[in-house]
Amino acid sequence: MSQTLFDKVWNLHAIDDLGDGMQLMFVDRHLMHELSGQRGQLELKERGIRTRSPALTIGSMDHVVSTVPGAKGGNAPWADKLIDSFRVESKKAGIKIYDIGQDGQGIVHVVGPELGFTLPGTLLVCGDSHTCTHGALGSLAWGIGTSELTHVLATQTIVQQKPKAMRVDFRGTPARGITAKDLILALIGKIGTAGGMGYAVEYAGEAIRGLEMEGRMTVCNLSIELGAKIGMIAPDEKTFAYLKGRRHAPSGERWEQALAHWKTLPSDTGATFDKEHAIDCASLAPQITWGTSPEDVIGVDGTIPGNKPEALAYMGLTEGKPIAGTQVDRVFIGSCTNSRLPDLRAAAELIRGRKAAKHVKAWVVPGSWRIKQDAEKEGLHDIFLAAGFEWREAGCSMCVGVNGEQVEPLARCVSTSNRNFVGRQGPQARTHLASPAMAAAAAIAGEIVDVRGF
C-alpha cells in the first residue's frame, strides 16, 4: 500500500497500541532549552528518577538569556538562577548543554538542524510548540509539555494519538519579493489557525522544492500557527547536502546507510491524504498581519479588514485603510522563524547603504552563536550597525518577551517572529508579522511598505 512520508516515519516509531487511539512511540532525539527543560529536570529529580538515555538529549540556552551585546546570562536574577539550575541538573544527568558563548548555543530550533542533531526519519520532541520546525528535514517533530518532557527523560518514549494527514501543494513559482514567510502566512490566512488542527501537514509543490533548507524551516515553523503540531517536507538532495559533515550527523559508512534509508522516506506516488489544499504562489503579494492572530493577514498592497473590531482596536488600525503607510516604531529581525544566515543576508542586502528612520528602533538577533560568527565574517553586522540597527547576541529575545526584551506599550513592531497575540511581545505591544526583507524595508521607510518598491 502506498504510504505518505508521515505514515512511514510514524510507523517506524510506534512501539505499542495502548487503545483508544493512543500509541507508545520511541523518541530518537530530544531537545531542551533552559525554560521548559529546567522544570522537567527538577520534576524528575523530585521523583527520584534518572534520565534513561542522556546521549539522545541535547540542550541550549535561548529563552531567558539576554541578547544585549556581550551578555553572558539573563536580564534578571531569576533568569540567572534558572540558567544555573539547568547547567547543574544537565551535568548531573550527563546531558550535553551548549552554553552561552559556545559554538552550538542558540535557539533550539535553529541549532538542532545546524548541529545535524535533527535528521530525516527521526522522531524529535522538545518542550516548545515550534518544534514542528524540524519537520523541514523530514523529521517527525512536535512540541511537548512539561509532564511529557519528564516522561521522555525517564523512558525515551512518548504517548501520542496519531493525527490525520494533510498535504498542501504550493503551486507555481513565487514572484520577486515573495519569501518562505509569505507562503506560510498566505496559507494560514486562507484556512485559518484551526485549519490544520488534528492533522500532520506535508508541504509539497514546486515552490517548496525551490526553497533552500532555511526557507523550508520557516514554512514548517509556522505549522503550529496553522493548528497543526506536525509539519513535514520530504527530504531530497538539498536536505542531504545541508546535513553532510555536520557535527551530530552520521559519517563514513553510517552516512551511506542513513542516506539509503532517507531516500525511501518521501510519500509514495498514489499515497492518499485525508485533506488537501493548494496555494497559487505566482499570484501572491508580500504578506503582513494586521490583527492579533496569524490568520489576520493580507497582502501589503491590501486594505485593512473590519471583521474583527476588537483586534482593530487593540492594534490601533482603521477598517478600509491601506496597510501600507502605517507608521512603525520597532523592527525585530530574529526568532526561530527567521534568524538564520539567509534571513540576515536578505535583510542586509536591502539595508545596505541606507539608514533606519530616526523614530524606529531596530534589532537584529541571530538565531545562534555560529550564525552570528558567520554573519560577522561576511560583514553583515557592519551593514546593520551603519544603518542604525542594534546587532545583538543569539537568543529568542523579543519574540516571546519572557526575558524582559519587549516592545513598549502601544508601540508598533514589524517582526519576523511567529506570533502576534495580544501581549506576546510585551503588554499592549502591537505586532505585525512579516518576512526579513519586509521588516528591513519598514525600518528604512519608518512605516509598513511594499518591499517590491525597493
Same-fold call for 1-284 versus 294-453:
yes
Q: Is 182 exposed, middle or buried (0-12, 13-18, 19+ CB in 10 A)?
A: buried
Q: Is the pLDDT of residue 253 over 90?
A: yes
Q: What pLDDT does 213 receive?
A: 98
Q: What is the pLDDT of residue 377?
A: 98
**Model pLDDT for residues 201-215, shown as the tens digit of each residue:** 999 999 999 999 999
pLDDT, residue 401, reads: 82
Classify burial at 255, counting beta carbons within 10 Å of its beta carbon; exposed 0-12, middle 13-18, buried 19 or more. middle
pLDDT in tens, 310-349: 999 999 999 999 999 999 999 999 999 999 999 999 999 9
- For residue 367, the one-letter residue type is G
Average pLDDT over residues 108-120: 98
Q: Which residues of 260-283 are buried (b: 16+ CB within 10 A; e: fewer)?
A: eebeebbbeeebebeeebebebee
Instruction: Return the axis-axis angle of helices 436-445 and 341-351, rounded to nearest 10°.
Output: 30
Q: Residue 403 has what pLDDT?
A: 87
Q: Which residue is it, cell 518532557?
A: 149
- Is the pLDDT confidence value at 59 over 90? yes
Q: What is the pLDDT of residue 118?
A: 98
Cβ pair 59, 98 in contact under 8 A: yes
- 29-33/123-126 β-pairing: parallel
Q: Is the pLDDT of residue 191 over 90?
A: yes
Average pLDDT of the chain, as a whole number:
97
Domain boundaries, the chain: 1-284, 294-453
Mean pLDDT of 12-35: 96
The C-alpha atoms of residue 204 and residue 232 are separated, in whole angstroms, by 9
**H or E stretch covering 311:** helix 309-315
pLDDT of residue 309: 98
pLDDT at 402: 84
- pLDDT band of residue 1 (cuts 50, 70, 90) is confident
CATH of 1-284, one of 3.40.50.300, 3.30.499.10, 3.40.50.2020, 3.40.920.10: 3.30.499.10
Q: What is the crossing angle of helices 213-221 and 180-191, to 10°?
A: 20
Q: What is the CATH number of domain 294-453?
A: 3.30.499.10
- Give pTM, 2 decimals: 0.98
CA angle 296, 302, 308 (to 5 degrees): 35
